[in-house]
């Protein structure tokens, strides 16, 4: 699976804004909610309730999201239709995997220790889930070595 090309991680921001800009996040949420490809005009119309961005601004952001491989762009006549390249769940999974991979690459022991400590504080059943995941990982590793 190809790693997402995201500009940076902003820990103080909510939700998707940790990895996408505010308008990028809103646009992606709109497109994920739709069951069909959308035009820039469709997105501008949806955004009018929360903000009133210029058509060209939304067009530029959607172009950037396409360049980042988050949106697929298909031309029909003079109109571009956009659809998500990944479901919201797939996107979130790739973001989390990328962050964890980066942390483990640079701060392996500290990252694992802190994760276990935080998980135990939040929910006791989380530790049981972690134990089960470790057992499964060991079994899979053993299977791979055969």
Residue 127 has pLDDT above 90, yes or no: no
Helix axes 40-47, 55-67, angle to 10 degrees: 120
Output the pLDDT for position 98: 85
Contact 73, 80 (CB under 8 A): yes
Write out pLDDT tens, residues 44-78: 999 998 888 999 999 999 999 999 999 999 999 99
Whether this model's pTM surpasses 0.95: no
């Amino acid at each position: 699976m190809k790693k997402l090309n995201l500009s940076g991680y902003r820990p103080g921001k909510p939700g998707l804004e940790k990895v996408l800009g505010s308008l990028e996040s809103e646009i992606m949420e709109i497109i994920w909610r739709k069951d069909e490809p959308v035009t820039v005009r469709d997105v501008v119309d949806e955004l009018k309730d929360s903000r009133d961005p210029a058509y060209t601004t939304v067009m530029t952001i959607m172009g950037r999201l396409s360049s980042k491989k988050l949106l697929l762009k298909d031309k029909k006549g003079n109109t571009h239709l956009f659809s998500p390249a990944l479901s919201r769940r797939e996107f979130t999974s790739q973001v989390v995997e990328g962050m964890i991979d980066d942390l483990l690459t640079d701060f392996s022991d500290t990252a694992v220790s802190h994760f276990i400590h935080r998980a135990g504080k939040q929910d006791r059943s989380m530790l049981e889930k972690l134990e089960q995941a470790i057992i499964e990982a060991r079994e899979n590793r053993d299977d791979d070595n055969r």
